[in-house]
Amino acid sequence: MKFVRFGEAGQEKPGLIDATGKLRDLSAHVGDLSGKTLDPAALADLARIDTSSLPAVSGNPRLGPCVAGTSKYICIGLNYSDHAAETGATVPPEPIIFMKANSAIVGPDDDVIIPRGSQKTDWEVELGIVIGRKAKYVTEDEALDYVAGYCVCHDVSERAFQTERHGQWTKGKSCDTFGPTGPWLVTKDEVPDPQNLPMWLKVNGETMQNGSTKTMVYGVKYLVSYLSQFMSLLPGDVISTGTPPGVGMGMKPPRYLKAGDVVELGIEGLGTQKQRFVADE
């Protein structure tokens, strides 16, 4: 199933996309897509509802982040061998982990704000893993039992803040609106092989990234298991798994985003995003 959250920011309702592509309101059955609702068994129960009995949502409402109640937004750096090569980095012997502040999370088509002083705002299309059950010390073999589904993530980055201001990467990743997430939470039964998903990103209509999760160094099962050795993964947590080549920083000369630019991105089967980049006031 494809679950969504729709409505004004902070007032989103849960919904789903039916077989015809129509948005249906789920709020009579569940309060939000968070907590125990994200357990794979609970999502399976929701999937058994007769979608034709659900109210159809008219118009084109704003879509919010596809999951609520996120306690952690965990990102994996340099997780595509071809992306590491374009940035001049070596593939790390273990996953590079950094955090994106929860205040960065926005809907898939919301405006993205270029922060004050930014000269190097960059793009990154990424596969997101949404956790459905508390995971701690899980093995790779059981890792997918703790996954609710997958989504599109846009790991927007300010490269000067990230790499030239010293310290950790988090400050270059956590600016307000730097975490568009969605449009859909696609349950794992609809994604039989998360390691074979084409993904793309365009800036002002020009294709910049055209890759596949095939080239991930550390796959979904490994990442869920690995992270669970260090911290409890909770329902609603998002793991953004890294990006393929084609980022602005890797171009010669580098190319970065400016106010007025429009970025579109997507992953096969998981939907698309579209953001307008605006200057901070």
pLDDT tens column, 160-197: 998 788 777 889 999 999 999 999 999 999 999 999 99
* Spatial strand order in the sheet of 198-203: 112-114, 271-279, 262-267, 198-203, 206-212
| pLDDT above 80 for 89 | no
| pLDDT above 80 for 14 | yes
81 pLDDT tier (thresholds 50, 70, 90): confident
Calculate mean pLDDT across residues 141-162. Answer: 96
| pLDDT above 90 for 223 | yes
Tens of pLDDT, residue by residue over 204-221, are 999 999 999 999 999 999
Nearest 5°: the CA angle 17, 200, 243 is 105
Calculate mean pLDDT across residues 88-105. Answer: 91
* Arithmetic mean of pLDDT over the chain: 95
Write down the pTM of the prediction.
0.96
222 pLDDT tier (thresholds 50, 70, 90): very high
103 pLDDT tier (thresholds 50, 70, 90): very high
| pLDDT above 90 for 91 | no
| pLDDT above 90 for 109 | yes
**Segment 55-60 long-range contacts (CB within 8 Å, at least 24 positions apart):** 55/24, 55/25, 55/28, 56/22, 56/23, 56/24, 56/25, 57/6, 57/15, 57/22, 57/23, 57/24, 57/25
Q: Would you call 272 exposed, middle or buried from its count of C-beta atoms within 10 A (0-12, 13-18, 19+)?
A: middle
Calculate mean pLDDT across residues 272-280. Answer: 97
What pLDDT shows up at residue 85? 75
Those residues with Cβ within 8 angstroms of residue 2's Cβ, 6 or more apart along the chain or in another chain: 16, 17, 184, 185, 186, 187, 190, 271
| pLDDT above 80 for 87 | no
Who wins on pLDDT, 187 or 91?
Answer: 187
Q: Would you call 93 exposed, middle or buried from its count of C-beta atoms within 10 A (0-12, 13-18, 19+)?
A: exposed
Architecture of the domain made up of 73-279 = Alpha-Beta Complex (3.90)
What pLDDT shows up at residue 130? 98
Q: What's phi and psi for 129, nearest 5 deg?
A: -105, 130
Greatest mean pLDDT among 86-100, 162-176, 230-244 lies in 230-244
What pLDDT shows up at residue 90? 78
Those residues with Cβ within 8 angstroms of residue 56's Cβ, 6 or more apart along the chain or in another chain: 22, 23, 24, 25
Calculate mean pLDDT across residues 58-71. Answer: 97
Q: Hey, what are 212's tokens?
A: 């596949």
58 pLDDT tier (thresholds 50, 70, 90): very high
Cβ atoms of 160 and 172 within 8 Å: the answer is yes
245 pLDDT tier (thresholds 50, 70, 90): very high
Calculate mean pLDDT across residues 26-52. Answer: 95
What pLDDT shows up at residue 86? 75
Domain ranges of the chain: 2-53, 73-279
Those residues with Cβ within 8 angstroms of residue 280's Cβ, 6 or more apart along the chain or in another chain: 113, 114, 115, 116
